[in-house]
């Protein structure tokens, strides 16, 4: 059963923008992010997480996506990292 929660307007907007291409609802996108975070958290170094939290630098999902799809960001995600199953989708 779902629980009502208060979310910031920027988070809701980011969820709407990020979820639209994947045909996810706002709630579905936020749940996806939560599942992704739960999956990744054990892989993160605790000191790195603390440093990120202390820095106070928080980017919106839209800003992160824009930076990834920029001349500076593209080399961080080379095409060789594309999963084989995703190749036909991108072509």
Instruction: Kindly tell me if the per-residue pLDDT of 62 is higher than 70.
Output: yes
Q: What is the pLDDT of residue 68?
A: 77
Between residues 43 and 25, which one has the greater pLDDT?
A: 25
Predicted model pTM: 0.56
Q: For all residues of the chain together, what is the average pLDDT?
A: 80
DSSP the chain: --------HHHHHHHHHHHTTTT--HHHHHHHHHHHHHHHGGGS-HHHHHHHHHH-----HHHHHHHHTSTTTGGGS-GGGS-GGGHHHH-
pLDDT band at 50 (very low <50, low <70, confident <90, very high): confident
Average pLDDT rounded to a whole number, residues 56-72: 76
- To 5 degrees, how large is the angle CA 29–CA 30–CA 33? 90
Domain coordinates in residue numbering, the chain: 9-76
């Amino acid at each position: 059963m779902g629980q009502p929660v208060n979310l910031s307007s920027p988070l809701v907007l980011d969820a709407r923008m990020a979820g639209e291409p994947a045909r996810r609802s706002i709630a579905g996108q936020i749940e996806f992010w939560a599942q992704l975070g739960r999956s990744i958290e054990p892989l993160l170094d605790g000191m790195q997480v603390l440093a990120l939290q202390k820095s106070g630098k928080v980017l919106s999902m839209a800003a992160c996506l824009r930076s990834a799809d920029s001349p500076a960001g593209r080399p961080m995600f080379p095409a060789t990292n594309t999963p084989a199953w995703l190749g036909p989708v991108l072509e």
